[in-house]
Amino acid sequence: MRFMLIVQATGYSEAGVKPCREYAEAVAAYRKSLAEAGVLLAAEELRPSSAGIRIGYPTNGEEPEFEAGPFATGQGLPAGYTLIEVNSAEEAIGWARQMPVPPGLGTFGIEVRELAEQSVWAKETMNRALEADLKDQLDMLKHS
């Protein structure tokens, strides 16, 4: 089961305030422990929402609407994520509880969300497409 641990943005993260060196070291150690346990798939921080754009699609089929950041932090705004593969929701929550909390930078929140797994049919279809693409590339190399 794959889970995304979504770190919620704060006023500090939105202002681009970097946590102290000790926190950065704690995060590096946390990610290392995830990797050593074989559960880490990805981990990234996001730039503040002032560098982002939201695209809204009206229900009436009109052109999409664009909104430049920054966005309000009270809207569940993400500041980063860690993607893990574990055996249960309880295990994912356990890893989320071990995530370091930056000292003195306001309320810190993590949302734990399970990723929808691809169906067997979708995986097989994707594999067939990849195999066909690789075969085409090999054929091109043979004839060049």
Residue 29 lies in a domain: yes
Residue 124 lies in a domain: no
Neighbours of 73 (CB within 10 A): 18
Average pLDDT, the chain: 89
Bridge partners, residue 85, by sequence: 2
Residue 49 lies in a domain: yes
Residue 9 lies in a domain: yes
Q: What is the pLDDT at residue 123?
A: 67
Residue 7 lies in a domain: yes
Q: What is the pLDDT at residue 103?
A: 80
Structural domain total, the chain: 1
Instruction: Tell me which amino acid residue 10 is.
Output: T
Residue 43 lies in a domain: yes
In tens, the pLDDT along 114-143 reads 999 876 566 677 778 888 888 888 888 888
In tens, the pLDDT along 19-32 reads 889 999 999 999 99
In tens, the pLDDT along 98-118 reads 999 888 767 789 999 999 987
Residue 35 lies in a domain: yes
Question: Can you tell me whether residue 36 is helix, strand or coil?
Answer: helix
Range of the domain at 105: 2-116
Instruction: Tell me which amino acid residue 127 is.
Output: N
Give the CATH number for residue 19.
Answer: 3.30.70.1060
pTM: predicted TM-score of the whole model, two decimal places:
0.75
In tens, the pLDDT along 57-81 reads 998 888 999 999 998 877 789 999 9
Residue 142 lies in a domain: no
CA 6, chain centre distance (Å): 7
Q: What is the pLDDT at residue 136?
A: 83
Query: With bands split at pLDDT 50, 70 and 90, how would you rate the model's confidence at 12?
Result: confident
